[in-house]
Amino acid sequence: MHSTFMKIAGAFAPIQSIAAPAVRAASWCVPDEVRAGSRVALSREIVATLFIMLAMATIEGGVIAVFAKHAFADSVSRGTLNLLVGLLAAMGELANILSFFWSSASHAKPKVKMMTGMYAGVVACIGLIALLPTTGMPGLVALLLLVLAARVCWSGVITLRPTVWRANYPRETRMRAVGIISGIQVLCVAIVGMVMSRVLDWNAEAYRVFLPVAAALGLIGVLIFSRTRVRHEAKLLREERDEGGEKVMKPWRGPVAVWEVLRRDKWYAQF
């Protein structure tokens, strides 16, 4: 996936020259206490997050669930539609159950390269949703599978991102950096959700244009993020290789660990 993405990135090379001023402008949002070595990384991540979240916000639970509810209301039975809409709304939480896989898959591998591939997967899934029909079960099931694939990729980003943050941002400023990034995410979800609802109220078929545009903006963010550098990455990867994966949970252990937690905590299991 990464090699294919890099070929696409070559075609979009002029965007990098446009993105550079945006990254410089984002440096004004970086707190003064962030040291020089981390300012560029944070500025780049701020801009990348902004563009990526403009795409990601279109498949957030509340947004995509409402879209599916209205789009398939006349072609799928009410009970089935309500069940699948509920699954769409909870897809982020369901995908997080699989996040344990990424810890093992990314062990001793370049984190930014893997995250770039995951971001590209998210953007690709969002673009493909625009091609789906909004009549009948096949379209709804395909929507469910594409959102699941995108959320699984996103769970990988969430799993690996703290490793990059620990390497790039000192402890004393890390929470401030994470707060800025999280704030951008929340704002994008709110704004995109509102705009998308108004657009679809105006024209129900507008998603065929809205989603590709969002995916294109997301791709710009992926290209910007792909140039992120992890401080002391060689040392980090060497330490992970020396550990030999002994401290990393094996993929098959993930479901077992979840089951053990639910079995021990009955109140949480009921929740």
* Cβ contacts of 120 within 8 Å, gap of 6 or more: 1, 2, 5, 8, 219, 222
Q: Region 171-189: what's the mean pLDDT?
A: 90
Q: Residues 188, 129: contact at Cβ < 8 Å?
A: no
Token pair of 85 as six digits: 């809409």
Convert the pLDDT of each residue in 117-143 to its tens digit.
999 999 999 999 999 998 889 999 999
Distances (CA, A) of 165 to 52, 171, 197, 201, 233: 17, 9, 34, 40, 12
Tallying the residues shown for the chain, one arrives at: 271
| Mean pLDDT, rounded, for 163-180 | 89
| Torsion angle of the four alpha carbons 34, 39, 43, 44, in this order, in degrees rounded to the nearest 10 | -140
> What separation in angstroms does the CA of 74 have from each of 68, 69, 184?
11, 9, 36
Q: What is the mean pLDDT of the chain?
A: 85
